[in-house]
Structure 1
């Protein structure tokens, strides 16, 4: 559908807001790679499949690698669930294949079934503090968080820990309803060097994609952290 023909006033308002006000807000810019990483993760979080398909080619042109894109989609499963992530995996595969990129991409796994829990616990401790070394013992979900979420995904190549915590923050902010986890991951970001000012810039760049209520909630969580 050609929205320039069917909804010209809406398109004019949105393009001015996104491309002039948000993109060029004084003192709040992000590097292109970081901005697109945040936007794509936000679109996953809010289930913006159509816009994701429009933005992903621009993100690849701006410097995101296919591996970075795939790693972001894979990690989203832990925060959004398989049911909400599979359409984005399909979209990524469609776009990468159309660009002549051969799939599967090079493997990024760094753990084994035997050491994934140990490595996951180490990663949790690196992000959130030494107290996390015992947290996995609290129950099945806590163990799965350590072994699966952090051991299987956070330890993979393609994205560093700062980038992985950034996209997690975006997944949580965009889906809403999980402010306690969002506050915890805002703190995790800060522990890794993604400070308050950086996270505020991330939220500002994502406002057009998730709207004002969830953006304001995210800023509140940042301030609490």
Structure 2
């Protein structure tokens, strides 16, 4: 159904805000590919699969490559669970196939079953500090976090480490209820060069897709992380 036909007044206001005013706001702009990647991650986080189907072609047209899109979706599994991500993976495959993209895409894994824990812990340490090298020893969930979340996904090519921390921030901000983790990953972003101003720009560009309450909560978490870093 074409909302421009059924809801023209709403669509006029929504698109003028989300696609024009927000995008062009002085001091809140992002590089086009970065903006689209953040929006895709935020839509995964808030479970906006229908909006994701609309946003994905725009992202591809703006220069986001299929490999980067797939990496966003794959990494979401560790923060949202396969129960919430599977519809997005199916939607991604449908959109890519319709555009003539040959699937599967080339593999991006850089770890093996033997070294995923070691390399995952190293990625955690690079993001959060040297104290994370042995954090996996605290229990089996911590070991899974290092080996699976970081070893299986963060070590993949297709997105760099700073981009991966940015999309994690978007997953957490958009789903809500994850404020302790959001503060931690805001700090992780800052450690990788995604500073306070950058993260606020990310929230600003995602606001139309996740709403004001979660956006304001995310900014509070950013400010808390920045204060703790002083």
TM-score range, shorter chain: over 0.9
SS of aligned partner of 1:35:
helix
SS of aligned partner of 2:156:
coil
Partners in 2 of 1:46 and 1:153 — Cα distance? 21
Q: Which residues of 2 match residues 51-70 of structure 1 at below 5 A?
A: 51-70=51-70
Deviation for aligned residue 1:12: 1.3
Partners in 1 of 2:102 and 2:49 — Cα distance? 22
* Counterpart position of 1:99: 99
Deviation for aligned residue 1:140: 1.1
SS of aligned partner of 2:24:
coil
Tell me, yes or no, if structure 1 residue 143 matches structure 2 residue 151.
no
Partners in 1 of 2:38 and 2:2 — Cα distance? 27
SS of aligned partner of 1:29:
coil
* Counterpart position of 1:29: 29
Tell me, yes or no, if structure 1 residue 200 matches structure 2 residue 200.
yes
* Counterpart position of 1:16: 16
* Counterpart position of 2:228: none
* Counterpart position of 2:7: 7
Task: Write out per-residue CA displacement over residues 94-132 of structure 1, whole angstroms, 9 at most, x where no aligned residue.
Answer: 011111111000000100000000000000000000110
Moved over 2 A (4+): none
What value does the CA root-mean-square deviation take over the aligned residues? 0.6
SS of aligned partner of 1:102:
coil
SS of aligned partner of 1:23:
helix
Partners in 1 of 2:35 and 2:19 — Cα distance? 13
Partners in 2 of 1:66 and 1:137 — Cα distance? 36
Partners in 2 of 1:16 and 1:69 — Cα distance? 26
SS of aligned partner of 2:200:
helix
Task: Write out per-residue CA displacement over residues 122-174 of structure 1, whole angstroms, 9 at most, x where no aligned residue.
Answer: 00000000110121111111000000000000000100000000000000000
User: Number of matched residues?
Assistant: 225
* Counterpart position of 1:108: 108
SS of aligned partner of 2:180:
helix
Gaps of 5+ in 2: 226-230
Tell me, yes or no, if structure 1 residue 155 matches structure 2 residue 147.
no
Task: Write out per-residue CA displacement over residues 14-33 of structure 1, whole angstroms, 9 at most, x where no aligned residue.
Answer: 01111222111112110000
**TM-score with structure 2 setting the length:** 0.97
* Counterpart position of 1:86: 86
* Counterpart position of 2:173: 173
